[in-house]
């Protein structure tokens, strides 16, 4: 029986003779179901359509693993490499031997985690391929539509995964939305791997904060301040979002603080009217 994959968000559902009636993740107000109705696919169909793993070095110690052409939301994973093991972050919606071989060559996989439920993707497949630990922020465990065979480990607040690699719960987009703080990133200045918990904008000069990107739903002030407070204890000069581009490449901590204050000004109506 196939593993069913939502064609819109690429989250997986357990093996069954037929797919569910609806993807619960896409039916939520933060995602969307196509106007033509719910669509499903399988890994076999994606392979037959020509999707392949796309592996690139992002910076020393950081490997990007995407899909070409992209699947569904189109996120690419980031593999943080350390001397004591590797963490895979935000797995995309399709996994093939190209990606598995690249991670094997990079030293394997200790753990896999994601910034939020939209990016759980192939998390169970990665866990099985490497017997890797799955880390899920506790408030979002109920969104894991295909639990891995190895029971997931829940966490909250923050969790040190590997030396210099820490999961940080920020909330906002989802209650368990999180980032990775990688102390060795950006040449030792520190980097955040943010998915869309902190959303890097196309000009690579600011960030924003969203309840839903496709449905244009903003976050309230308390949620924005909560995200900023969660990352404030950490040093970082760079932010990697959920896709190959854009990347906030420098002065990231100051940019996050400044962008949050500007966002809140707009929420409060404290900016002059445009003329």
105, with CB counted inside 10 A (0-12, 13-18, 19+), is exposed
202: alpha, beta or left, given left = phi > 0 and alpha = psi -120 to 50? alpha
Mean pLDDT of the chain: 97
- Do the domain assignments include residue 41? no
Q: What is the mean pLDDT of residues 219-246?
A: 98
Q: Cα–Cα–Cα angle for 177, 179, 183, nearest 5°?
A: 165
Q: What is the mean pLDDT of residues 97-108?
A: 97
pLDDT 10s digits, 28-68: 999 999 999 999 999 999 999 999 999 999 999 999 999 99
Percentage of the chain exceeding pLDDT 70: 100
Q: How confident is the model at residue 275 (pLDDT cuts 50, 70, 90)?
A: low
- Do the domain assignments include residue 42? no
- Do the domain assignments include residue 47? no
- Do the domain assignments include residue 44? no
CATH number of the domain at 117, please: 3.60.15.10
**Model's pTM, two decimal places?**
0.96
- Do the domain assignments include residue 214? yes
Q: What is the mean pLDDT of residues 99-104?
A: 98
- Do the domain assignments include residue 273? no
Look at residue 74 and tell me whether its pLDDT is greater than 80.
yes
Q: How many folded domains does the chain comprise?
A: 1
- Alpha-carbon gap, residue 149 to 141, rounded angstroms: 15
**Domain region containing 159:** 4-15+22-32+55-268
- Do the domain assignments include residue 38? no
- Do the domain assignments include residue 274? no
Q: How confident is the model at residue 271 (pLDDT cuts 50, 70, 90)?
A: confident
Q: What is the mean pLDDT of residues 166-189?
A: 98
Count of CB atoms within 10 A of residue 122's CB? 28
Look at residue 198 and tell me whether its pLDDT is greater than 80.
yes
Q: How confident is the model at residue 273 (pLDDT cuts 50, 70, 90)?
A: confident
Contact criterion met (CB below 8 Å) for 56 and 78: no
């Amino acid at each position: 029986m196939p593993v069913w994959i939502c064609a819109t968000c690429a989250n997986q559902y357990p093996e069954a003779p037929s797919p569910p009636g609806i993807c619960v993740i896409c039916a939520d107000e933060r995602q969307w179901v196509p106007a033509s109705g719910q669509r499903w696919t399988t890994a076999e169909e994606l392979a037959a359509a020509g999707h392949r793993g796309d592996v690139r070095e992002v910076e020393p110690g950081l490997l990007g693993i995407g899909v070409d052409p992209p699947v569904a939301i189109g996120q690419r994973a980031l593999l943080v490499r350390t001397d004591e093991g590797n963490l895979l972050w935000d797995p995309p919606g399709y996994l093939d031997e190209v990606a598995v071989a690249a991670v094997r060559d990079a030293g394997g996989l200790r753990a896999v985690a994601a910034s939020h439920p939209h990016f759980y993707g192939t998390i169970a497949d990665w866990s099985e391929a490497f017997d890797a630990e799955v880390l899920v922020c506790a408030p979002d465990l109920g969104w894991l539509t295909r639990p891995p065979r190895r029971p997931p480990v829940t966490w909250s607040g923050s969790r040190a995964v590997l030396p210099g690699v820490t999961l940080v719960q920020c909330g906002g987009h989802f209650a368990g939305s999180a980032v990775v703080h990688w102390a060795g990133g950006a040449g030792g200045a520190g980097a955040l791997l943010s998915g869309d918990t902190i959303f890097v904008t196309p000009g690579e000069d600011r960030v924003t904060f969203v309840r839903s990107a496709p449905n244009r739903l903003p976050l309230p002030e308390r949620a924005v301040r909560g995200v900023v407070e969660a990352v404030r204890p950490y040093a970082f000069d760079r932010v990697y979002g959920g896709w190959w581009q854009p990347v906030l490449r420098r002065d990231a901590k100051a940019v996050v603080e400044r962008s949050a204050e500007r966002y809140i000004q707009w929420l409060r109506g404290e900016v002059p009217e445009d003329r």
